[in-house]
């Protein structure tokens, strides 16, 4: 039977195996394995023959087989909300770097903020037997991961907490950051401050709202229902809410926006209005310092979130077996101008 000549698309089975290399080099299978893995106990001459066979045949070890036998895949999974969201890009890279330092590859995917898709993806990664999993949860119930964690899949949640299970978690101080941002507006004389955030089923949205309320409470300021709006971050909705909060008899004089997408839309809407409205946004934006006014933000450190989560993960893989840890990273107020505007008359 000829080699691969009339196979329309050679794949996989057509590749040379260690056995082929062994045959060609006239040695045993195990000797090839030793050379490929750099194990000792092979004479220079034997090694030379094996290497010659390897390059002549174009052999590359099949890690699928290796993984099956060894029991570790040297890969970690990352489930995030959207691979295209610039906020998660540095987190993604940070997890990759830590994985790389530990010789592991990264398999990742987007939940698209859909709990069912999160679940499918996470379980698909478990079926691939990733050694560990970093999850930015979309759902609120992660009991489906319990059997996997019990079976040894190290799991760390980032950015949002796990639902209904106990697991290592790395979060920003969402409530504290929002509180600081709103207090900053209060300190600049604002008494009517609007909050526009993401959907209430998203933990970060309600935490940041909690911070907003705490700051208003601490300043003994009332909060009207119309000043709070949680919902999709689609530009149309956010635009409508900004305009609504700025109209009527007692319009807000400042806005606190609950994440980067909301902030971007709010900045856009405000730039079209004659009135100057103060703004502090949660999450930093590229070029925020170049807008006029430059945008004051509560910044998270997404790379540090990812790095910290991945470190916790590999500590587990390296045998750390104590109780679940929860790490809260501080946020940082970056005053640039928009948050320091005084209240408009009215």
Partner DNA sequence: CTGAAAGCGCTTACAG
Binding positions for its own copies, 21-50, rule CB under 8 A:
none
Residue carrying the six token digits 């809407």: 269
Residues 213 to 272 in contact with DNA, rule: CB under 7 A: none
Residue 202 interacts with which of its own copies, DNA, none, CB < 5 to 8 Å by class: none
183 interacts with, out of DNA, its own copies, none, CB within 5 to 8 A per kind: none
Residue with Cβ nearer its own copies (75 or 233): 75
162 CB-near residues (< 8 Å, 6+ apart): 135, 137, 142, 169
Tokens of 140: 């609120």
Q: Binding to DNA (CB under 7 A): which residues in 63-122?
A: 64-66, 68-71
Cα distances (Å, whole numbers) of residue 181 to 140, 188, 228, 262: 27, 11, 15, 15
Alpha-carbon distance 89 to 86, whole Å? 5
Q: Which of the listed partners (DNA, its own copies, none) does 92 bind, with a CB threshold of 5 to 8 Å by partner kind?
A: its own copies
Kindly report each contact of residues 212-219 with a partner whose C-beta sits within 8 Å and lies 24 or more positions away, as own/partner: 212/178, 212/179, 212/182, 212/256, 214/175, 214/179, 215/178, 215/179, 215/180, 215/181, 215/182, 215/183, 215/186, 216/182, 216/186, 218/179, 218/183, 219/183, 219/186
Cβ proximity to its own copies, 3 vs 45, nearer residue: 3
- Out of 215, 267, 278, 310, the only residue in the binding site for its own copies (CB under 8 A) is 267
User: Alpha-carbon distance 124 to 127, whole Å?
Assistant: 5
Question: Is residue 10 near its own copies by the rule CB under 8 A?
Answer: yes
Q: Is 325 in the site for DNA (CB under 7 A)?
A: no
CB of 212 to DNA, least distance (A): 49
Minimum distance from residue 28 beta carbon to DNA (Å): 3
- Regarding 29 and contact with DNA (CB under 7 A), the answer is yes
CB-count exposure of residue 173 (10 Å: 0-12, 13-18, 19+): middle
Residue written as token pair 């290592």: 168
Residue 85 interacting with its own copies (CB under 8 A): yes
Verify binding: residue 134, its own copies, rule CB under 8 A. no
In the list 48, 128, 326, 332, the residue contacting its own copies (rule: CB under 8 A) is: 128
Query: Which residues of the chain form contacts with its own copies (CB under 8 A)?
Result: 8-15, 58, 60-65, 67-68, 71-73, 75, 82-86, 88-90, 92-94, 96, 100, 105-110, 123-129, 131, 147-148, 150-152, 264, 267-268, 271, 285-292, 303, 316, 319, 321
Query: Which residues of the chain form contacts with DNA (CB under 7 A)?
Result: 12-13, 15, 17-19, 27-31, 33-34, 36-37, 40-43, 45-46, 59, 61-62, 64-66, 68-71
């Amino acid at each position: 039977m000829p080699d691969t000549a009339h196979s329309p698309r050679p794949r996989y089975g057509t590749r040379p195996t260690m056995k082929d290399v062994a045959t060609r080099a006239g040695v045993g299978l195990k000797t090839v394995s030793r050379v490929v893995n750099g194990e000792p106990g092979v004479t220079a001459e034997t090694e030379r023959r094996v290497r010659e066979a390897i390059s002549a045949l174009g052999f590359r070890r099949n890690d699928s087989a290796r993984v099956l036998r060894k029991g570790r895949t040297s890969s970690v999974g990352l489930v995030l909300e959207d691979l295209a969201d610039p906020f998660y890009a540095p987190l993604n890279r940070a997890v990759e770097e830590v994985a790389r330092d530990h010789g592991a590859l990264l398999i990742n995917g987007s939940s698209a903020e859909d709990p069912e898709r999160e679940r499918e993806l996470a379980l698909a990664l478990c079926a691939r037997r990733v050694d560990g999993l970093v999850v930015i949860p979309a759902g609120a119930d992660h009991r489906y991961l319990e059997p996997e964690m019990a079976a040894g899949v190290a799991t760390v949640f980032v950015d949002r907490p796990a639902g209904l299970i106990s697991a290592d978690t790395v979060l920003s101080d969402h409530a504290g950051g929002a509180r600081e941002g709103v207090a900053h507006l209060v300190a600049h004389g604002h008494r009517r401050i609007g909050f526009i955030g993401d959907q209430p089923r998203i933990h970060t949205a309600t935490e940041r709202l909690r911070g907003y309320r705490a700051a208003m409470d601490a300043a003994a300021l009332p909060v009207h229902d119309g000043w709070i709006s949680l919902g999709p971050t689609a530009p149309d909705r956010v635009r409508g809410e900004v305009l609504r909060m700025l109209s009527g008899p007692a319009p807000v004089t400042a806005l606190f926006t609950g994440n980067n997408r909301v902030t971007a839309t709010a900045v856009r809407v405000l730039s079209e209005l004659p009135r100057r409205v103060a703004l502090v946004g949660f999450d930093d934006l590229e070029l925020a310092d170049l807008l006029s006014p430059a945008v004051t933000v509560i910044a998270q450190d997404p790379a540090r979130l990812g790095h910290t989560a991945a470190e916790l993960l590999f500590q587990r893989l390296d045998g750390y077996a104590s109780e679940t840890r929860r790490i809260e990273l501080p946020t940082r107020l970056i005053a640039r101008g928009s948050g320091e505007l005084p209240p408009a008359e009215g």
